[in-house]
Amino acid sequence: MKKAFWIVFLILVLDQVLKIWIKSTFYLGESHPVIGHWFYLHFTENEGMAFGMKLGGQWGKLMLSIFRLFAIVAIFIWLYNVTKKGAGNLLIVCIALILAGAIGNILDSAFYGLFFSESSFMQLATVFPKGGGYASFLHGKVVDMFYFPIIETHFPHWVPIFGGDELVFFRPVFNVADSAITTGVLMLIVFQKKVFPGAGSEVAK
């Protein structure tokens, strides 16, 4: 369990330090190249779903936040149980990554609206503003900053519907927490025979 704790702790520290820095020093929409023209730090915010996806309305936001809280509890119980059963390190790492990512984003949703003023294209956010934060508990926005427009071009004009439109790959902007969740899930899929030994034979029976 100690190994899982340190994975979760380190990812949360990296995630929150970077988010707080971006939130407090970048204007909304501000972008700076890190590596050439294909990796940028680009400040944007979303309603809480991975890679900028949204669930509309205040009730949708609240339901999403509550769902994520239950998911965090379920993932933690899963991690605790597999650790008690002496599961392999790979499975523990995968679950710890997913748990860290889920906690990282719910912290934004739960507290950033209380602690920060609204970010805008003209004004930097401030911490603990006099008039209070920009949103209530569980209604904050998640801070995203990693943008990888590896390919920037246009669809050929002969392509139906999209002909001539801008084509950007990879368009979504994401954060450390999103990366941790995605990495954990992909590792579970790619290494499923190692992390779930005997699962295939059970199905065969």
Residues known to be catalytic: 144, 178
CA distance from start to end of the chain: 33
The residue among 110, 108, 105, 127 whose CA lies nearest residue 118 is 127
Q: What is the DSSP string of 99-147?
A: HHHHHHHHHIIIIIHHHBPPP-SSS---BS-TT--SS-TT-PPEEEEEE
What is the distance of C-alpha 7 from the center of its chain? 16
